């Protein structure tokens, strides 16, 4: 009986945090940070396309934004706010302060706040990834 009580008590502490994460098509975790920003958690081998896939999938699937809605990097790749010891990129639907007129380059990156794609363009990095086909 004591083992069951310890297990149930442990699960109560684990489940609330786990229920806040949403998994994108590429299995990257996405956490809302507040009403305007969310964070895509990286894993070993995660590249820019993986982060953008997570952001686009979350925006289109969970939030239901229009395909033309722009998604901006709020904070470039760095330490996660929600998962200690992990790297993450924070995204928002408006540019970060001082980056309102930022011009994105032609390469896909997560190294510059203000870089942006439409929700449809970000989401296409999910569906055009042959490495997920087995």
Give me the tens of pLDDT residue by residue for the chain, a chain 134 residues long.
444 433 433 443 444 444 589 999 999 999 999 999 999 999 999 999 999 999 999 999 999 999 999 999 999 999 999 999 999 999 999 999 998 888 877 789 999 999 999 999 999 999 865 554 54
Question: Given this model, what pLDDT does residue 128 score?
Answer: 63
What contacts 55, CB < 8 A, 6 or more positions away? Answer: 30, 38, 40, 71, 89, 91, 122
Tell me which residue range forms the domain holding 27.
21-132
Asked if the structure places residue 83 within a domain, the reply is: yes
Overall number of domains in the chain: 1
Cα–Cα distance for residue pair 122/65, rounded to 1 Å: 12
Asked if the structure places residue 2 within a domain, the reply is: no
Residue in 65, 127, 16 with CA at minimum distance from that of residue 91: 65
Question: Given this model, what pLDDT does residue 130 score?
Answer: 53
Asked if the structure places residue 82 within a domain, the reply is: yes
pTM flag (> 0.95): no
Asked if the structure places residue 63 within a domain, the reply is: yes
Question: Given this model, what pLDDT does residue 101 score?
Answer: 84
Asked if the structure places residue 8 within a domain, the reply is: no
Question: Given this model, what pLDDT does residue 134 score?
Answer: 44
Asked if the structure places residue 9 within a domain, the reply is: no
What is the SS3 assignment for 112?
coil
Asked if the structure places residue 14 within a domain, the reply is: no
Asked if the structure places residue 44 within a domain, the reply is: yes
Question: Given this model, what pLDDT does residue 104 score?
Answer: 77
């Amino acid at each position: 009986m004591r083992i069951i009580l310890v297990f149930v008590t442990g699960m109560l502490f684990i489940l609330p945090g786990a229920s806040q994460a949403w998994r994108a098509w590429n299995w990257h975790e996405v956490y809302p940070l507040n009403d305007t920003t969310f964070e895509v958690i990286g894993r070993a081998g995660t590249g820019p396309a993986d982060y953008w896939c997570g952001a686009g999938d979350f925006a289109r699937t969970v939030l239901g934004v229009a395909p033309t809605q722009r998604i901006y990097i709020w904070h470039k790749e760095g330490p996660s706010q929600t998962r200690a010891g992990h790297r993450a990129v924070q995204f928002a639907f408006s540019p970060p302060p001082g980056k309102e007129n930022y011009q994105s380059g032609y390469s896909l990156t997560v190294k510059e706040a203000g870089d942006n794609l439409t929700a449809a363009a970000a989401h296409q990095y999910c569906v055009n990834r042959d490495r997920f086909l087995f």
